[in-house]
Amino acid sequence: MAARSPCDGNGNPTGLLLAKPNAAILYATLAKGPKLPFEHQVNSTRHFMRELNRLGVTGVIDAGGGFQNYPDDYAVIQKLADENRMTVRLAYNLFTQKPKEEKEDFLNWTASVKYKQGSDYFRHNGAGEMLVFSAADFEDFRQPRPDMPPEMEGELEDVVRILAENRWPWRLHATYDETISRALDVFEKVNQDIPLEGLNWFFDHAETISDRSIDRIAALGGGIAVQHRMAYQGEYFVERYGMGAAEATPPVAKMLEKGVHVSVGTDATRVASYNPWVSLSWMITGRTVGGLRITPQRNCLDRETALRMWTENVTWFSNEVGKKGRIEKGQFADLIVPDKDFFSCAEDEISFLTSDLTMVGGKVVFGAGIFSDLDENDVPPAMPDWSPVKTFKGYAAWGEPEGAGKNSLRMKAASLCGCASSCNLHGHDHAGAWSSKLPIADLKGFFGALGCACWAV
């Protein structure tokens, strides 16, 4: 493997690392950084949860991640849970760490960890997203699709049998249909001996999944968790595979149509941002964060469907159906008040939404504006003293007056628009409408029929 660090016009490294053929070298580089003292790790974790609360997040499913070993690297979050200082609900999956030792990991974990052990704020949720390294097809669309080695099926079957016998649900990272179909061969084989019914197992990502594989997943009672990686890598995907292939990558609308269990997430914090509103914007508008329209309207979701993917649908994946995800009697008192009306704001405003009030378990864990006085989450200053969090705060450097988010080209263009009123369809993002790629001759007439006023500017 190799890594390259691009330089700017003055020959200085930009800090960006590009890895070939996959991201493993980047993860290894991150792991070599200095480790914060335990006290600082606790402080940092509290600030990160605070940032999630600011964006309206009340619960998280943790897919493990590289170089996070259980139980040692879970000591910080365990301490916060023991002290009742969790401000998001966390369901964690155990992620194997060493190639060729995966079977031993899961034999040890299934013998020492009870499925669902913990509390409503911190508990075990199964295995994954790495079950065996031979089945991991990394998602860098700048690189060709990797072929999984011939030993994949045998190694995966060994682990899946252990999990099925112990009734542990699992999640499996899989980007390409070529990997998914081979994994399904294994799951179907195991299912003949140990029925998988009742196990909430699922694939993560599934960008290029086929209709046939969706049907096979549905037949086995599994699910698909989609993340908004295409919002960040859409341009790279189009460059390699073409715009036509990107139109249903991943085919979320088709998954829902076929009745398979589907939810969404972010794949944060390494592969994409933890901001859920970027994910919602991508599903609704079909645009990347760079503004490229890759998903035609027929494959996009309406706002209510997209929101349910983030709230109600996801409870199947955390094994909490009926406990949360809806505002109704008998479910957790977890809710948010966004700073704008999600259902009526302009499309170009969705990715910039935040929360004015976030409640978890009946406690106000974040309050802004008129709700500031209700905030019960007293987080100490960021540690150490030089922490960038003190200045930049979080996503898009929102804490800095001239932060990155405020200077994004599309946001600046919209904010500087001189028209009298925003378009009902696109807000002030008129350039987005003008540059749309639709299979029609008259964009003005098409959008005009939908109430668009961009061409009147």
| pLDDT at res. 335 | 97
Closest alpha carbon to 389 in 44, 91, 109: 44
| pLDDT at res. 66 | 65
* Span 107-125, average pLDDT: 97
* Span 224-247, average pLDDT: 95
Strand 202-205 and strand 355-360: the pairing is: unpaired
Q: Tell me the two tokens of residue 61.
A: 């499913």
For residue 87, name the pLDDT band (cuts at 50, 70, 90).
very high
For residue 439, name the pLDDT band (cuts at 50, 70, 90).
very low
Q: What is the average pLDDT value for the chain, to the nearest integer?
A: 88
Residue indicated by tokens 């081979």: 182
pLDDT at 74 over 50: yes
- Are 164 and 280 in contact, with CB atoms under 8 Å apart? no
Best mean pLDDT range from 69-73, 321-325, 384-388, 431-435: 321-325
Output the pTM of the full model: 0.86
* Separation of alpha carbons 75 and 327, rounded Å: 32
| pLDDT at res. 409 | 47
* Span 446-450, average pLDDT: 51
* Separation of alpha carbons 375 and 248, rounded Å: 42
For residue 349, name the pLDDT band (cuts at 50, 70, 90).
very high
| pLDDT at res. 154 | 98
* Cα 207 to chain centroid, rounded: 13
pLDDT tens across 137-186, in order? 988 898 899 999 999 999 999 999 999 999 999 999 999 999 999 999 99
* Separation of alpha carbons 62 and 257, rounded Å: 27
Strand 2-4 and strand 202-205: the pairing is: unpaired
Q: Tell me the two tokens of residue 426.
A: 């696109």
Q: What are phi and psi of 410, to 5 degrees?
A: -70, -40
Reported residue count of the chain is: 457
Q: What are phi and psi of 303, to 5 degrees?
A: -65, -40
| pLDDT at res. 427 | 58
| pLDDT at res. 431 | 53
The CATH number corresponding to 59-333 among 3.20.20.140, 3.10.180.10, 3.30.460.80, 3.40.50.1390 equals 3.20.20.140
Domain parsing of the chain, residue ranges: 1-33, 59-333, 417-457
